[in-house]
Every structure is written in structure tokens, then in C-alpha cells.
Chain A
Amino acid sequence: MRDQTRQPADAVRLAAEAMRTRFELVLWGPSERDVRAAGEEALAIIHETEDRLSPFRPGSLVSAISRDGASRPVRLDADTFRLLSLCADVAQRSFHAFDITLWPLMHAWGLRGEPPSPDAPAGCVWGWQRLVLDAAARTAHTNDPGVRLDLGAVGKGHALDLAARAIAESGVVTAAFLHAGTSTAIAVGTPAHPFAVRLAAADATRSPTVRLTQGALSVSAPRGGHIIDPESGRPVRPGLELAATLAPGAAEADAWSTALLVLSSRPDGLAGFTPPPDLTTITLQPRGGWIAQGPRRRDVSIPGAPGSADAPAVAFSPAPSPTGQTPCPSATPGAPS
């Protein structure tokens, strides 16, 4: 019999397919069997989150809001209510550069695989204000039966947040790195050294490396060069090649990385935008320059930039997404370096 209560020689790695992507967990702790158990619990939570948020599952809360929300309030658990509140908050603070009601527009503009509608966006119902949240009753309803929610831009991040919380509360994991499709990642615990994550771009030699200790990282890039601006309801070309964010939570990081792309498409770009105080942004300009701004910019090493420290590179690269706003990069999660 192997003694699995011993200190594991390597990290415990677990993975699962959920939300149409691959979630991977890399965990460290004093007891292999306990660490594995904590990881399995986290994966169970990711699946439960998919059950609540998937627009493709008729029994999900998101489907219930889309289907019934105009005729009755839909009861929510506290975590889902907080997520919807976060989405509303980002929508407002980003001047409507983020919106979880774009499903009809995505279809109308042919971003879901169908032929685009010649009348788009006419006939489409969208707008985050159409989703009404009642904090006292902890319910959600809509003010138009045409509203369709799609939390694809933040669902993976939310699942990672809940999984990370469970891992942290398990008390048996010293450090963990979780990612969804390598577009969103979150660090848990106190690793011996920060996780090093490289934001891969076309010119990999100039890709920045992010040192992730606590908190989350999200990367967004446009699909086919275009994304939908919720303000106009029309496809636009972002003014950035890539937008990444560091935030306390993965859902929050996801929402803002998407919003940054949309903001960059507008005439003023990011000029008039003041990010939340705990948000760090990393952007790739059209001509290839990287800019890091915010409280954790020192955790971002840009090759060739003054003061940048060398760090082992672990690819974390954005790729086109089916939604046009949620990236699905391909990469490998980093071990503590």
C-alpha cells in the first residue's frame, strides 16, 4: 500500500470538461489524498456552477431567467445573485462596455455560426438594465420577454472563484493554481514562489510574464477581429490586440478584460476610463506595445521594459472565442517558479 498521506513529490493535477472548456487544477499540500479530495470537491463545484449558469441547459437558473423572467421573479442562490450584481456593476462602471444580454445580437450578427440577419440589430432585445435584481427577495426578473442571458464571458471565472473558495476553506491545500481554458486563472493559498504566467502573443519573445500570487488573471481577445459593442449593438473592431486584467476575483477579471476590449473600440479608447482601484490592466496595443497599469503592475514583467525582472515563462495565450468576447487561449498553467 502506498502511503498517500505523505508529502506528495509533485503537485496533484486534476481536470474536468465543463462549460465547453477544460478546467485544470494544480494543487499542493502536505497530504496527497487530502489534496486530491479537496480538488475533487472543487471540480464538483465547477460542475454545479455549470448546471446553474449554462444557457444550453433548460434547467439552469440562467435559462429560467431567460424563459420565465418576464413573467415571474426567479429565485437565486446568494452566489449567483452576487455574480449578476457584479455584471450589472461592471456594465454601469464601464459605460455599457459589458453586457450579459447580448445573446440575441450574437445570433443576429452571425457570431454563433448562423448567417447574419440583414436587419441586425433591428428586432433584437438587449441591455443590462432589462435585468432587474431584487436584493431583498434575492430574485431576478426581466422587463421584456425577449431578453436572453448569456454569462459566457464571466461563467468560467465565477466557477473558478467558487472552486478556489472551496479549496481555500478545505484547510488541506497550501497552494493551488486553477484555470479554465487557460483564459482565466486564479491562485489560491501561499505558494513558495509566485506562479509565473506568460501572456503569449504573436511575438512570444516579447510576451509579458505575470507573477500571480493571490487573485485572478483573465485574458480576452476578439474573434475574427470583431466584437459586439453593447452600446450600439453593432460589431466593432477593438483598438487592442489583447486585454488582460488582474483582479481579486476571476469573474471580475473576466468581465473587465471583456469590457476593456469594447472600450478600446470607441473613439476615445481607454482615455476617459478610470479602472476600479483594485484592477490591474495589461494591454497589447495594435503596433505590438504592451502597457501595464494598476496596483499590481509590478507583478507584470515586460521583456525589454525598464525594471522588468526575468521570470520563467509559462504560456497563457489568448485565442478567438465563440462568443467573440470570451477568449479560449491555449496554454499550460504555471508551477511555482
Chain B
Amino acid sequence: MTELDRRTFLASAAGGLAALAVLPELGFATPAPRLAQPLRVGVVGVGRHGRALLDDLQKLDAFTVAAVADNDPARLSAAQRRLGETPTYGTHAELLDKTKDLQAVIIATPTHLHKQIALDCLGAGKHAFCEAPLAHTPEDCREIAHAARRASTVFQAGLYARSNPVYKLARTFFLSDSVRDLVAMRAQDYRKNSWRVPSRDASRDREVNWRLDTDVSLGLAGEQGTHQFDVFHFYTGRYPSSVWGTGSIRVHDDGRTLADTINCNLRFADGAMLQYAASLGNSYEGRFEVFHGSNAAIKLAWSHGWMFKEADAPTQGWEVYANRQQFHNDEGITLIADATKLASQGKLKEGVGLPYSPQYYALTDFADSIANGKPPACSAEEAARATIVGIIAARAVAGNTQVEISEDALRI
């Protein structure tokens, strides 16, 4: 930005917005707990997300992967090739039966298979980390939550915003009145992808493509929306009272009946609205969540977060020390420790974000809960409520209608 442009920007800022990048500090990583011996963990489900979890488990000294299970021979074979000597099994029951010294299990199977695996793991006295959405029916969600409540072991659900350092940092701003009166909420998940998985065995096509099977899949609203709706639950402590939804097939007209593009409006009891859109047909702007407030808006995008202040919002002390950074078409202010130093090294230009994936931090929290007795970053009850909202949103989309969300529906 030239000096003239800069003056123009500053002059026009009275009627515009300034962007503040909420970025993690350089050593952002949550310190992984040091254990005398790594936790022996089994991974059930080694599809695309299971692979990502294996990558992160490998980076964490707190864990050693002692066994994996998957009912798909091709995925299991790929995992075995990657892990070397680690035992592999075709079912979670076999994994539990033959690996007696397992301490924890990571459940990364299709959503509708979570319940039985979670119950069996908790029943066998294992700590359990279960991906979200928690299950594909409210009844299954409650059953998992009840089992977790009874268990003496740790149960953590994979709703990653609750472990994500960027989201936790931005939440402190949200709770500190930087946003002030909540005006509206908005979120989207756009990624161009068919959601289809190749299968050389036609008889297994429906099984491996469970996300396209309307009998068991929660669609975009449930599978993706659950994670994003939970960001708003996490920040506001509230749940919506109704959801309207609609969806259609815009791009992937390949025999599926599940919508590849959806819109939802979630209404909260005080009248606040959350607009949600998701699509498999376009990638523009990807995934984000936005809180619009009377003083500022906070935008969160998985590994990054920003605050956009209203021109009439009161100046806060930290702004004086904040680093200035070009942000889209505006000059923003970076909120990050050592920002000036990073800028001098040119690192801000490369885009400073989370050094690790969000699931890395969730797994770190999981290890911390097991080792140090800390409450799980996301309990089964919290995940059950978030998932039920996602399930109801999926029903609204499927029916092209509005569905009420009663307090009873969210009671666990």
C-alpha cells in the first residue's frame, strides 16, 4: 500500500472496517503432556480422516499406535504398509480382544458405526476419542453420552473448535465484549469434492460411500454443519430453537439423492440467526464462521482468525502494539506475540496460522485428560447436543422445511 493509499484507507476507515488478524503466537502449540510411557492407542477406521489422525498421533510422543482396525481390506492394507509391524484387524472387536494392553481407542469410522464401537471400548475400560458427529440418531447420541457418564475412563469427542488454539484465543475476545451485542452469525463450508470414494468392489460401493447413503448419512448439515454449529454453541453457550433448511443437487448429478448444496437458517430463542451454507460444488472462501457484533466481527477460518472492528468501536490497549498486515484489500492489524519480529523475518507474508492441524490439539487435550485428569475438551454430552442439532438440521434440509428444536430434544 502506498503512502497515499494508506492515508486514503485511514481517512475512509471512519465509515469502514479495520481488520485485525487473530493469529497464534509463535510457540502456539499446546504443550503435549510428558508421560513416562506413551499411551498405547488403537485406531478404528483408517479412511481419509483416520489417516490424518495417524499422522498426528505419530507426531505426539504421548501416543504410540499399537493396533488399527478397519472393515475395508484396501484401507487396512494401506495402513499396514504405512505402519509396518503394527497389527491390523478387520473389526474393532478383534482389536479389543487381541490387544489387551491398549489404553485408548480413536474412533474414526463412519458416523453410524460409532455407537457400538464407543460402547464396546468404554465397556472394555479403554479411554475413547470419538469423531463427531457423535452418531446418526439422537438415541445413539444419548446412549453414547450415558455410557461415557458411567465410565471411569476419559471420553472425548472430536469437535475440534474446542481444542483449536485460534478458536480459543478468539473466544476470549468474544467473551471480553470486543464484539459487544451479537447481531448475526454466519458460516459456510464450500469445498469442491464429490464426497465419493472409489471402490474396486461394486458390492461394497454403498458401504464405502456411506456419506451418500440417505439411510445413514447426515449429509452436509450433519457431517460438516455439526462441527460449525458447535463453534456457536461453544462461544455463546446457547443452542438454536429451530432450524429451516433446503438443499439440492447442483453439480454432482451422478445418481445420488443427497443434496450437494444446502442452506440453513438456525434461529436462537432471543431472535439471533445463524445462516449456514455448504456445497460440494464450489470452493470459494472455503470454510469459515463469523460473529457479527455491534463493535466488531470475528471471522474464524480453521487455522486463522480475524477481528474486524467497527469504526466507532472503542480502542483497546493491545491495538497499539499490534502488528499491521495487509489483509485482502485492507491493512489489518495482526494480533500475535512477536508479530514485529515475525514481520521482519517475512513470515507474516507467508501466512501465520496454526502450526499443527486442529486434530493435533484435540489429541493433545485427550492425552492431557488421561494423564492429568483434566476434563475433556469436548465431553460426550456437549457432542451429543451439537450432533442432535446437526441431525435436526439434516432433517430440515431433507424435508425442505422448518423443524423446531425443543429443550427436551437436547436433554441428554
A residues in contact (CB < 8 Å) with B: 1-5, 32-34, 36-38, 40-41, 44, 48, 51-52, 56-59, 61, 64, 75-79, 138, 169-172
Contact assessment for B55 and A33 in the assembled complex, using a CB-CB cutoff below 8 Å: no
Stretch at the interface among B76-84, B89-97, B167-175, B234-242: B76-84
Q: Which residues of A contact B200 (CB under 8 A)?
A: 169-172
12 contacts between A and B (CB under 8 A): A2-B254, A4-B253, A5-B254, A33-B196, A37-B198, A41-B198, A57-B355, A59-B360, A169-B74, A169-B78, A170-B200, A171-B200
Complex Cα distance, B354 from A77, in Å, reads: 22
Contact assessment for B81 and A75 in the assembled complex, using a CB-CB cutoff below 8 Å: no
Q: Which residues of B contact A56 (CB under 8 A)?
A: 350
Complex Cα distance, B285 from A322, in Å, reads: 28
Contact assessment for A138 and B355 in the assembled complex, using a CB-CB cutoff below 8 Å: no
B residues in contact (CB < 8 Å) with A: 48, 51-52, 54-55, 58-59, 74, 78, 81-84, 193-194, 196-201, 252-255, 350, 354-357, 360
Q: Which residues of A contact B360 (CB under 8 A)?
A: 59
Q: Which residues of A contact B54 (CB under 8 A)?
A: 77
Query: Can you list the 4 inter-chain pairs with the closest CB atoms, starting with the nearest?
Result: A171-B200, A58-B355, A59-B356, A4-B254
Contact assessment for A77 and B197 in the assembled complex, using a CB-CB cutoff below 8 Å: no
Contact assessment for A33 and B84 in the assembled complex, using a CB-CB cutoff below 8 Å: no
Q: Which residues of B contact A3 (CB under 8 A)?
A: 255
In-complex Cβ contact of A44 among B48, B58, B78, B254 (8 A):
B48
Query: B354: nearest residue on chain A (CB-CB)?
Result: A59
In-complex Cβ contact of B198 among A1, A138, A171 (8 A):
A171
In-complex Cβ contact of A52 among B55, B197, B255, B354 (8 A):
B55
Complex Cα distance, B209 from A172, in Å, reads: 15
A-B contact count (CB 8 A): 78
Q: Which residues of A contact B74 (CB under 8 A)?
A: 169
Contact assessment for B198 and A34 in the assembled complex, using a CB-CB cutoff below 8 Å: yes
Nearest chain B CB to A159 CB, angstrom units: 14
In-complex Cβ contact of A33 among B48, B59, B194, B350 (8 A):
B194
Q: Which residues of B contact A138 (CB under 8 A)?
A: 84
Q: Which residues of A contact B254 (CB under 8 A)?
A: 2, 4-5, 32-33
Complex Cα distance, B355 from A59, in Å, reads: 5
Q: Which residues of B contact A36 (CB under 8 A)?
A: 194, 196
Contact assessment for B356 and A58 in the assembled complex, using a CB-CB cutoff below 8 Å: yes
Complex Cα distance, B201 from A170, in Å, reads: 10
Q: Which residues of A contact B194 (CB under 8 A)?
A: 33, 36-37, 40
Q: Which residues of A contact B48 (CB under 8 A)?
A: 41, 44
In-complex Cβ contact of B255 among A4, A40, A57, A76 (8 A):
A4
Nearest chain A CB to B29 CB, angstrom units: 8
In-complex Cβ contact of A37 among B51, B59, B196, B350 (8 A):
B196
Complex Cα distance, B162 from A54, in Å, reads: 27
Given A2-B253, A34-B198, A172-B198 in contact, is the A77-B58 Cβ separation under 8 Å?
Answer: yes
Given A56-B350, A59-B355 in contact, is the A51-B55 Cβ separation under 8 Å?
Answer: yes
Nearest chain B CB to A60 CB, angstrom units: 9
Q: Which residues of B contact A57 (CB under 8 A)?
A: 355
Given A4-B255, A78-B81 in contact, is the A41-B197 Cβ separation under 8 Å?
Answer: yes
Contact assessment for B84 and A78 in the assembled complex, using a CB-CB cutoff below 8 Å: yes
Please indicate which of the listed interface residues A5, A36, A52 has the most CB atoms of chain B within 10 Å of its own CB: A36
In-complex Cβ contact of A59 among B59, B83, B201, B350 (8 A):
B59
Q: Which residues of B contact A77 (CB under 8 A)?
A: 54-55, 58, 82-83
Beyond the given pairs A1-B253, A44-B48, A58-B355, 6 more chain A to chain B contacts, judged by CB atoms under 8 angstroms and listed by A's residue number, are: A5-B254, A32-B254, A36-B196, A77-B54, A79-B82, A169-B74
Contact assessment for B355 and A48 in the assembled complex, using a CB-CB cutoff below 8 Å: no
Given A4-B255, A59-B357, A77-B83 in contact, is the A37-B58 Cβ separation under 8 Å?
Answer: no
Nearest chain B CB to A283 CB, angstrom units: 35
Nearest chain B CB to A29 CB, angstrom units: 9
Contact assessment for B51 and A170 in the assembled complex, using a CB-CB cutoff below 8 Å: no
Complex Cα distance, B122 from A216, in Å, reads: 48
Q: Which residues of B contact A32 (CB under 8 A)?
A: 254
